[in-house]
C-alpha cells in the first residue's frame, strides 16, 4: 500500500535512511524496523531509502528489491517513501523505478550520470529518463556534483522543469549553492516558471541559510532527525531565531558527521549508540572508526547531551 506521491508542494524532512547491516554484512531487517519506527517518532514527513548513504551501490538487485519490499510493508502507507533509483544503465534504472512505484513508492530520487559536462548532454540524459518514466512517477532530481562530478546549471534545471511535469522536486546539495536556490525561487516567484519543491542535503550543514532562501525542508540523514524536524517547524512558523538557536546546539556534531566519504560511519555509530540499530557496520569498501574517532564522538555526544540538558 502506498501513500500519496511527492509533488511540487512537498515540504518537511525526508530523512535519508542508511541500510542497517549485521556485523557479518547481511541486511539487518530487525534494525531496519527499529530505524523506521524511530524516524516516525521523530516526526519526519517521509523517508528516502536506497540512496548513496544507504549503500545502494553495494546491494545486489535481489537485496535491493527485498529491502524495498520490506520497508514498504513496514511503512504500510503511513508516510511517503522516496526510493533511490540511480543506475549507470538507463534500462536498469527504469526497470527498478517502475518496480518501486508498483510497490507503493511516493517518488524516485535520481542523480544525473557521472562526469557529464555540456548542458545539452545533461538535458538529453534527463529527456530520456523522464520521458520513459512518465507522469505517474514523480522524480526528485539529486543535484550532488561533489559525488557525480556533473554540475547542472540553473538554465538546464529551468528547461527541465518547464518540459517535464514529473520533475517535481530538487534535492539541492551543490556547495556552494545558495545563489542557485535564490535563482530558482526568484524565477517561479515572478511567475515565469513552475515552482518545484526544494529539499536540501549535505547533512543539513547550511540548513538555516537554505530555509531563509525559500527551501521546503531537508532530505538528508543527520543522526538526530528530531532537530531537523523541529528547526523546519520553527522556520515555517516564522520563529526563526528559536530555530537558529536550536540548530546551533547541534552544529558541532552535525559538522563532524558531515565528512565526505567518512560521515556514514559516524552516522551509523551514533544511531547504534542511541539504541536504534544493532551494528554500525558498513559494507566494504566502507569507512570504519578508529579508537581516536570513538573518543572524539564520545566528547561530541556528551557535549551535546550537556547542552540539551542545560536548556531543558
Percent of the chain's residues with pLDDT above 70: 99
Task: Tell me, yes or no, whether 312 lies in a domain.
Answer: no
Q: Is the pLDDT of residue 3 over 80?
A: no
- Which residues have C-beta within 8 Å of that of residue 38, sequence separation ≥ 6? 276
Closest CA relative to residue 231, chosen from 33, 44, 5, 21: 44
Which pLDDT score, from 0 to 100, does residue 151 have? Answer: 94
Collapsed DSSP state (helix, strand, coil) of residue 48? strand
Q: Is the pLDDT of residue 1 over 80?
A: no
Task: Tell me, yes or no, whether 155 lies in a domain.
Answer: yes
Which pLDDT score, from 0 to 100, does residue 195 have? Answer: 98
Which pLDDT score, from 0 to 100, does residue 312 have? Answer: 84
Q: Name the band, by pLDDT with cuts 50, 70 and 90, for residue 261.
A: confident
Which pLDDT score, from 0 to 100, does residue 260 have? Answer: 87
Task: Tell me, yes or no, whether 244 lies in a domain.
Answer: no
Task: Tell me, yes or no, whether 294 lies in a domain.
Answer: no
Cell of 220: 538528508
Q: How far is CA 138 from the centre of its chain?
A: 15
| Full domain range(s) for residue 21 | 12-237
Task: Tell me, yes or no, whether 283 lies in a domain.
Answer: no
Q: Name the band, by pLDDT with cuts 50, 70 and 90, for residue 67.
A: very high
Q: Is the pLDDT of residue 209 over 70?
A: yes
| DSSP assignments along 126-157, one per residue | HHHHHHHH-TTS-EEEEE-HHHH--PPPHHHH
Task: Tell me, yes or no, whether 177 lies in a domain.
Answer: yes
pLDDT in tens, 123-157: 999 999 999 999 999 999 999 999 899 999 999 99
Q: Name the band, by pLDDT with cuts 50, 70 and 90, for residue 2.
A: low
Q: What is the CATH number of the domain that holds 190?
A: 3.20.20.70
Task: Tell me, yes or no, whether 144 lies in a domain.
Answer: yes
Q: How many domains does the chain have?
A: 1
Task: Tell me, yes or no, whether 159 lies in a domain.
Answer: yes
Amino acid at each position: 500500500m502506498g501513500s500519496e506521491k511527492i509533488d511540487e508542494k512537498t515540504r518537511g524532512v525526508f530523512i535519508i535512511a542508511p541500510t542497517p547491516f549485521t556485523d557479518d554484512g547481511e541486511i539487518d531487517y530487525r534494525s531496519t524496523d527499529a530505524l523506521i519506527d524511530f524516524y516516525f517518532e521523530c516526526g519526519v514527513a517521509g523517508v528516502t531509502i536506497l540512496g548513496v548513504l544507504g549503500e545502494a551501490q553495494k546491494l545486489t538487485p535481489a537485496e535491493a528489491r527485498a529491502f524495498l519490499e520490506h520497508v514498504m510493508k513496514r511503512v504500510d502507507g503511513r508516510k511517503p517513501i522516496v526510493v533511490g533509483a540511480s543506475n549507470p544503465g538507463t534500462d536498469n534504472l527504469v526497470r527498478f523505478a517502475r518496480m518501486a512505484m508498483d510497490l507503493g513508492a511516493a517518488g524516485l530520487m535520481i542523480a544525473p550520470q557521472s562526469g557529464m559536462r555540456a548542458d545539452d548532454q545533461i538535458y538529453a540524459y534527463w529527456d530520456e529518463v523522464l520521458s520513459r518514466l512518465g507522469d505517474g512517477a514523480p522524480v526528485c532530481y539529486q543535484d550532488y556534483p561533489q559525488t557525480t562530478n556533473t554540475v547542472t546549471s540553473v538554465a538546464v534545471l529551468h528547461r527541465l522543469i518547464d518540459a517535464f511535469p514529473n520533475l517535481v522536486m530538487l534535492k539541492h546539495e551543490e556547495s556552494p549553492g545558495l545563489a542557485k536556490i535564490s535563482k530558482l525561487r526568484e524565477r517561479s516567484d515572478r511567475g515565469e516558471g513552475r515552482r518545484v519543491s526544494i529539499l536540501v542535503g549535505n547533512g543539513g550543514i547550511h540548513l538555516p541559510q537554505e530555509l531563509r532562501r525559500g527551501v521546503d525542508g531537508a532530505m538528508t540523514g543527520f543522526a538526530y532527525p528530531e532537530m531537523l524536524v523541529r528547526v523546519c517547524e520553527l522556520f515555517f512558523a516564522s520563529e526563526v531565531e528559536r530555530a537558529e538557536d536550536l540548530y546551533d546546539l547541534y552544529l558541532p556534531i552535525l559538522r563532524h558527521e558531515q565528512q565526505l566519504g567518512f560521515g556514514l560511519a559516524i552516522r551509523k555509530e551514533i544511531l547504534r549508540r542511541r539504541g536504534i540499530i544493532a551494528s554500525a557496520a558498513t559494507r566494504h569498501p566502507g569507512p570504519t572508526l578508529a579508537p581516536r574517532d570513538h573518543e572524539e564522538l564520545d566528547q561530541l555526544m556528551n557535549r551535546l547531551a550537556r547542552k540539551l540538558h542545560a536548556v531543558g
